[in-house]
Structure 1
Amino acid sequence: MALSTDDRRREVLRAIVADYIASQEPVGSKALLERHKLDVSSATIRNDMAVLESEGYIQQQHASSGRIPTEKGYRQFVDQLHNVKPLSGPERRAISSFLEQGVDLEDVLRRSVQLLSQLTRQAAMVQLPTLTVSRVKHCEVVALSQVRLLLVLITDTGRVDQRNVELDAPVDDEDVARLRDLLNSALVGYTLTEASARLGHLAAEAPADVRQAVIRASTVLIETLVEQPNDRIILAGTANLSRMAGAVSNTLPVVLDALEEQVVILRLLANVPDLGNVSVLIGDEIENEELRGASVVTAGYGAEGATLGGLGVVGPTYMDYTGTIARVAAVARYVSRVLTGE
């Protein structure tokens, strides 16, 4: 059955976007007929291209050249991607194997951005888990000497913080064990914000003979919980942008400067979609002005329905959206699996 006029024009737009992504060369009507089975005359194709241009989906850079997609055209293309081609078996196994070799959460996330930058040939970014959803898993207390302790705080997102505590009086092994139990009674199972408040009460209510040690340890832990930055970003593959043609290379210094600003990346990752979904921002849809010559694809990672952070890539508007969306989604999914031990 023949396509309706609107369906055919959507197919023509899809073909133009796909060809331009593959070649970064303007696409003409003759090339479309040769490469795609559109089953219409060249005159019909030229008419469809004229309509698509008048509607703002494609544009002509020079009078004698073919057409290239506009940001509106890319958006239409992305919105029509109902089924993204899944990764191949070898690709999935390679991602899983590489991430599972991570020694802790930060190593897993560092590996994830390395993978994304290699798989997509774009700049990749990941945000370390936010403190608001992290819960304390355990606090270990190790006596380095009679007046110095090592506190090791471990969260359920894999974050590990180590801090030294200087005491004003010696403690023995029994005191260290009591201190460990007291701290864990206030910390384990609570979010870091909740745990910080509970430590304040613990210091006031602790047994007199270990109160000073509890106060010293609690003060250090509160500083770790409250003041430790929770918005660290890991970047990889920014050099890939230097090989891009078109809008990104024309504004490359501005884009690279923007990527160096942690607050810019945090804004990109602040509103990642629910787990299992992928967000695509194209050109002017990006809040940051310096990145409006680019496109951003992001996804969230997490565990038990809670999004712990975001990851994604920044690349040109002519990026391979189908492949990029699939790879960002896959890496986010595997990071989540590593976190939950599945």
Structure 2
Amino acid sequence: MHEVAPSGINHPRRRAVLCALVQDYIRTREPVSSKALVSGYQLNVSSATVRNDLAALEDAGYIYQPHTSGGRVPTERGYREFVNQISQVRYLSGAQRRAIQTFLTEPLGVEEVLQRTAQLLARLTHHAAVVQYPSITRQALRHIEIVQLSPTRLLLVIISEAGDVTQRTLDLPAPIAAEDVQNLRVALNASLSGLEPSHFAEQASDLGRDLSAAARPAADSIITELSTTLEPVYQEKLLVAGISNLARAGNELSSGLSEIIEALEEHAALLRLFKESAAPGHVHVSIGSENHDQALAEVSVVASAYGSGQSGPHLGVIGPKRMDYPAAMSAVRTVASYLTKSLEI
């Protein structure tokens, strides 16, 4: 899923001209002229009108002219506007989907599945690909003790199936009686013991029917705290494939290629990006300076989480800003979905 962001361009025709220019530049790698836009895209306006629109887009910082007598190319802001206007992620072909399914559904160990996933993403997109290792352990709830400190404050003692003990102080939205606290403890242990956070929501509605109206807001707050405490911890380790694809990007990355490769090998910058990225089923795109790391200032990163958790692990692709964003977003989303099914996490 990809949500369309509000446009920074109020003029629909100029948005269409910009999107056509970005698509043409991605395809040809050459600055785009007004003549190429009029002849190659159904804009239904004259070349003079397109020239005026290009001048306005240039003044607004969406495109620029590398050479005085040549065409225009997108700026970072232009790419961002283009990505924001992608109304839906392109679907992969049937052949591509079958290849992914075959590649990832053979009975393999986790390490080999992750290696295959990185290689597959690199082949599908012709960019570098990264896959984060899944959690070290699954965190299920063994038991919870609840101590009432005041009518609006509880002490939670959370014990995981692995034997880890965590204490949390919780401020409630409304006062709660001692009897309701006892009922909460019994109901939560009966409903949630042995379950991972991803399954808590399924039990929440049934749990509410067994509690008083005063206890239900407290139950919601406790379940939220349990989910946060028991959320799996993901390994800060990445598998990387397709680094040679970056070298094929031409002059676009030549000045910073060594820094980009170093960032991929060190993992820290990408792991920071992944923490800001989208939940499973959604695709996150960061472009150039949005990556908040000088080593990644010349690339775009398309990423998504996989698995049933809400915060990772992640996978994605890294390539030049002149990237086929719809294709990359589609590949990342689809591969993440198949990887989730393959690992059953």
Match of 1:326 in 2: 330
Structure 2 CA distance for partners of 1:17 and 1:246, relative to 1, 3 Å: farther
Pair 1:310-2:314 in alignment? yes
Separation (CA, whole Å) in 2 of partners of 1:97 and 1:301: 18
2:274 equivalent among 263, 269, 273: 269
1:66 equivalent among 53, 65, 71: 71
Pair 1:15-2:20 in alignment? yes
Matched letter for residue 30 of structure 2: E
1:235-269 deviation per Cα after TM superposition (whole angstroms, max 9, x unaligned): 00011100002432331111111111121221122
Q: Is the 8 A contact 2:33 2:70 kept in 1?
A: yes
Pair 1:338-2:342 in alignment? yes
Pair 1:195-2:163 in alignment? yes
The aligned runs of 1:1-342 (5 Å cut-off) are: 6-131=11-136, 134-135=138-139, 190=160, 194-196=162-164, 230-303=235-308, 305-340=309-344
Separation (CA, whole Å) in 2 of partners of 1:234 and 1:82: 31
Q: Is the 8 A contact 1:241 1:252 kept in 2?
A: yes
Q: Is the 8 A contact 1:20 1:68 kept in 2?
A: yes
How much has 1:196 moved relative to structure 2?
Answer: 4.9
Q: Is the 8 A contact 1:102 1:111 kept in 2?
A: no
Partner SS for 1:272: coil
Matched letter for residue 336 of structure 2: A
Structure possessing the higher radius of gyration over alpha carbons: 1
- Structure 1 stretch displaced more, 68-77 or 245-254: 245-254
1:18-47 deviation per Cα after TM superposition (whole angstroms, max 9, x unaligned): 000001100000111110111111110000
How much has 1:339 moved relative to structure 2?
Answer: 2.0
Q: CA RMSD in A?
A: 2.4
**Gaps in structure 2 of 5+ consecutive residues:** 1-8, 141-158, 167-232
How much has 1:130 moved relative to structure 2?
Answer: 3.0
Separation (CA, whole Å) in 1 of partners of 2:266 and 2:323: 23
Greater helix content:
1
Structure 2 CA distance for partners of 1:306 and 1:9, relative to 1, 3 Å: closer
How much has 1:316 moved relative to structure 2?
Answer: 0.2
Matched letter for residue 125 of structure 2: T
Say how many residue pairs are matched: 254
Q: Is the 8 A contact 1:282 1:317 kept in 2?
A: yes
Partner SS for 1:92: helix
TM-score normalised to the size of structure 2? Answer: 0.69
Partner SS for 1:195: coil
**Gaps in structure 1 of 5+ consecutive residues:** 137-188, 199-227
Structure 2 CA distance for partners of 1:340 and 1:21, relative to 1, 3 Å: same
Match of 1:167 in 2: none
How much has 1:283 moved relative to structure 2?
Answer: 0.5
Separation (CA, whole Å) in 2 of partners of 1:229 and 1:278: 19
Q: Is the 8 A contact 2:234 2:313 kept in 1?
A: no
1:56-92 deviation per Cα after TM superposition (whole angstroms, max 9, x unaligned): 0000001011000000000000000012221111111
TM-score normalised to the size of structure 1? Answer: 0.70
